[in-house]
Chain A
Amino acid sequence: MKSLRMAKRHLPKFLESLGKWGKVYVPVKLGKNSYRWEEFDGEVDNIALDALRTVIPAKKFFYKPREVMFEYDKTNGYTQACAECEEDVILFGIHSCGIHSLETLDNIFAGKYVDNYYFTRRKNITIVGTSCMPDKHCFCKSMGADTVDEGYDIFLTDLGDDFLIGVGSSKGDDIVNDNPDIYEEVDESTTKRYLEFRNKRDESFELVLDTSDLPTILDFQYDNPLWDELGERCLACGSCSMVCPTCYCYNVDDTINLDSETGERWREWDCCLFRDHALVAGGHNFRENQGGRLKHRYLHKQQAYLGDFGRTACVGCGRCIVACPANIDYVECLKAMRGEMTSA
């Protein structure tokens, strides 16, 4: 870990330097009020430095919405397909909650059967984080994901005229050594402004969720009628899961070609709010009602994952709150379960 300082006017040079390590992706504005990571077009002005949440989180870089796993051929067997697997990607502009979400996904895909589709791409990704100022839907602080001490190569904190440059890995060190002229040593003013920034950000969180005892409370609330009330409103549209940086469920399907000899195996993002998610042969569905499906998503994040990995699977990014057409609100719902509120 080492800290440096870089004047903002050097950002173009910094990005140019990043380009030596791979394809640089930056957040850009989309439509009225949305953002998406796209390949850097060389124009610093097109980067949405203030973007809080992209529509789809960083998982799209190593875990594709729908992709071919392998092709099969009756005579020649299987060919693993992963076209851009070896591509080096620089992910610029990921925030603290996003970096925490990577660890959450790593835990899952590194399980008993290591997922190579995920890790082949994941290992080629350079993480360049940037600081942020929470809006009314951010609650990463409540989920312990508001600051990062590891999990990035470089982290830029916005201090007004310059950035504090946190170097978090040897690759990060290589990157700053590549262009030493644009960095300066941290001085007293830097530390002072950094502390000011930290305090200001810390006080800016409007949305707070008390997570103490939550797994136990959720156990007690298993039969709360609110689950079904929310289930009636839920359209099973899948948006909440698709946009969630820690939702990782996928479905696998085989397609066959007209020759009946060749075909492909696909996998695509799945979601526990779908009717088909717990549907098994014979037409039995383990979760018949939408309320039960919705409850499953919440309990998995706040109970099951916690039991397995010692932290919740929600990083408080607020994406599912913004993306729900029915205004079903993760935090309001959990508050209601705590008895803090009456509606979600």
Chain B
Amino acid sequence: MAKPSIGVYGLTGCAGCQLNIINCEDELLDIAAAVDIKSFIMAQTGNVECEIDIAFVEGAVSNEKQKKQLLDIRERAGLLVAIGTCASWGGVEAMINDVPREVAKKDVYGDTMKDNPFYDCFNPMPLKDVVKVDFQIVGCPIERPQFIQAVASLLNGNLPLLPTYALCTECKFKENECLLIEQDKFCLGPVTKAGCGARCPSNNIPCEGCRGPVFEANYASEVEIMLEKGYTKEYIAQQMSTFAGTISAEDLGARKLVKTDIP
């Protein structure tokens, strides 16, 4: 039987997730033995854009060209997996999606790039806003063991079982002091999807939410908790949109539960 084929693609992002795949040094040979890598521009030459079983796509969609590329990948791929928080939630690129693009562009580049088509972009959005996404491996960047586990599960016809609960649970597994409760720090653990091993709180740094929202993220309650602690609305919105800016400011601040149905 032919080996399942995969492709790894990058849209707008830092390429850190793709790099983390390449960094799976101990397992790279096993991965290569298990799948046929048809396309992975960052890692190899001789890429072929053909029909593939699984596409792993990093980065947010931020211009027409990428939109077309993503639609093409979707056409060719059996399963499409978003890798990283950018592909899943817009990530840091979408941090200022509430500022009109033209204004943002001008703030950064002045008038110099006004007519340069290279800088034509729209508000970065997650893959799910353009195509059907079958699975998300979140993280900024993704965790290597989770990528490997995901590949292995998908090869065997299963959707990977990655943590679906909030970071606080993992933080408790680590038996950390709660920074939010005992130190009044701004911690996004209660609304962030676990899976990083509570890396930041375990090092005494509050969670910034780089893995994006948990399945049913109760932003409303988190906002209320933070207001009570004396953080301003502006600060709260800013923190919350660092990695999940595509959830509208309205959702972030309002009495609303943000639900997602992508596993």
Binding site for B on A (CB under 8 A): 30-34, 36, 54-56, 60, 65-66, 232-239, 242-243, 253-260, 263, 268-269, 271, 274-276, 290, 322-323, 325-326
Contact B182 A33 (CB under 8 A): yes
The chain B residue with its CB closest to the CB of A255 is B149
Contact B164 A239 (CB under 8 A): no
Distance in Å: Cβ of B44 to nearest Cβ of chain A: 19
A-B contact sample (14 more), CB < 8 A, given A31-B176, A65-B172: A32-B177, A55-B177, A232-B220, A232-B255, A236-B218, A242-B173, A253-B161, A256-B158, A260-B156, A271-B165, A290-B216, A290-B218, A323-B172, A325-B225
The chain B residue with its CB closest to the CB of A253 is B161
Q: At the interface, yes or no: B30 with Cβ under 8 Å from chain A? A: yes
Contact B189 A258 (CB under 8 A): no
Query: Which chain A residues lie closer than 8 Å to B178 at the CB level?
Result: 34, 55, 239, 323, 325
Contact A235 B190 (CB under 8 A): yes
CB interface residues, B 56-82, toward A, < 8 Å: none
In the docked arrangement, what's the CA distance between A239 and B175, Å?
11
Contact B222 A242 (CB under 8 A): no
CB interface residues, B 14-51, toward A, < 8 Å: 27, 30-31, 33-34
The chain A residue with its CB closest to the CB of B192 is A237
8 contacts between A and B (CB under 8 A): A232-B221, A235-B221, A236-B214, A237-B166, A238-B172, A253-B161, A274-B164, A276-B215
Contact A238 B168 (CB under 8 A): yes
Q: At the interface, yes or no: B152 with Cβ under 8 Å from chain A? A: yes
Residue from B164, B172, B182, B183 in contact with A276 in the complex, judged by beta carbons closer than 8 Å = B164
Contact A56 B175 (CB under 8 A): yes
Contact B148 A239 (CB under 8 A): no
The number of residues on chain B lying at the interface, defined by a beta carbon within 8 Å of a beta carbon of chain A, is: 44
Query: Which chain A residues lie closer than 8 Å to B240 at the CB level?
Result: none
Distance in Å: Cβ of B219 to nearest Cβ of chain A: 9
Q: At the interface, yes or no: B247 with Cβ under 8 Å from chain A? A: no
The chain A residue with its CB closest to the CB of B160 is A255
Contact B169 A235 (CB under 8 A): no
The chain B residue with its CB closest to the CB of A322 is B181
Residue from A243, A263, A326 in contact with B172 in the complex, judged by beta carbons closer than 8 Å = A243
In the docked arrangement, what's the CA distance between A268 and B169, Å?
11
Contact A31 B183 (CB under 8 A): yes
The chain A residue with its CB closest to the CB of B149 is A255
- Interface secondary structure of B, over-half rule: helix
The chain B residue with its CB closest to the CB of A258 is B30
The chain A residue with its CB closest to the CB of B158 is A256
In the docked arrangement, what's the CA distance between A66 and B170, Å?
10
In the docked arrangement, what's the CA distance between A237 and B215, Å?
11
Residue from B33, B156, B165, B180 in contact with A325 in the complex, judged by beta carbons closer than 8 Å = B180
Residue from B153, B177, B220, B222 in contact with A256 in the complex, judged by beta carbons closer than 8 Å = B153
The chain B residue with its CB closest to the CB of A266 is B161
Q: At the interface, yes or no: B121 with Cβ under 8 Å from chain A? A: no
Distance in Å: Cβ of B252 to nearest Cβ of chain A: 14
Query: Which chain B residues lie closer than 8 Å to A271 at the CB level?
Result: 165, 169
Contact B34 A260 (CB under 8 A): yes
Contact B222 A33 (CB under 8 A): no
In the docked arrangement, what's the CA distance between A259 and B156, Å?
10
Query: Which chain B residues lie closer than 8 Å to A274 at the CB level?
Result: 164-165
Q: At the interface, yes or no: B151 with Cβ under 8 Å from chain A? A: yes
The chain A residue with its CB closest to the CB of B228 is A327
Distance in Å: Cβ of A314 to nearest Cβ of chain B: 18
Contact A258 B31 (CB under 8 A): yes
Query: Which chain A residues lie closer than 8 Å to B52 at the CB level?
Result: none
Q: At the interface, yes or no: B155 with Cβ under 8 Å from chain A? A: yes
In the docked arrangement, what's the CA distance between A236 and B166, Å?
7
In the docked arrangement, what's the CA distance between A233 and B221, Å?
5
Contact B152 A255 (CB under 8 A): yes
Residue from A36, A60, A234 in contact with B218 in the complex, judged by beta carbons closer than 8 Å = A234
Q: At the interface, yes or no: B191 with Cβ under 8 Å from chain A? A: yes
Query: Which chain A residues lie closer than 8 Å to B172 at the CB level?
Result: 55-56, 65, 238-239, 242-243, 323
Query: Which chain B residues lie closer than 8 Å to A258 at the CB level?
Result: 27, 30-31, 33-34, 148, 151-152, 155
